Amino acid sequence: MAARKLTTREAIQKVLAEDGAKMKVKDIIEAAVPLTALGGKTPGQTIYSVLYGEAKKPTSIFKRTGKGEFRLDKRAVEKAEKVAAESKPSKPKVETTDPSEQPG
């Protein structure tokens, strides 16, 4: 069975996490494109757009370190994972009633 293709954001995160240091956009694109299912004419442009768009957000896990360079903000990743874990809904209790136990 083939491995699941990652979303663009997941692919960028994986590439930056594996490298562990700041990387140039060109290198991020080269490493991330094969991990995604991007099939258009310009998958690199899609990765570029996601990377720059995400980095503008105050809670982003991608931090711009210089012109054309980014790194993964590990503290932001840990915080995002903690928030996601806390916001997972717990399974509701389902009460089942056996018809033979009904009064009647």
Average pLDDT of every residue of the chain: 84
Rounded distance between C-alpha atoms, residue 29 and residue 48, angstroms: 7
- pLDDT one-digit tens code per residue, 6-46: 899 999 999 999 888 899 999 999 999 999 988 889 999 99
| Ranges of each domain in the chain | 8-82
SS3 23: strand
Residue 1 confidence (pLDDT) above 60 = no
CA angle 37, 23, 57 (to 5 degrees): 75
In this prediction the pTM is 0.73
CATH class of 8-82: mainly alpha
Tell me the pairing of strands 23-24 and 62-66: unpaired
Give the residue with greater pLDDT, 72 vs 79. Answer: 72
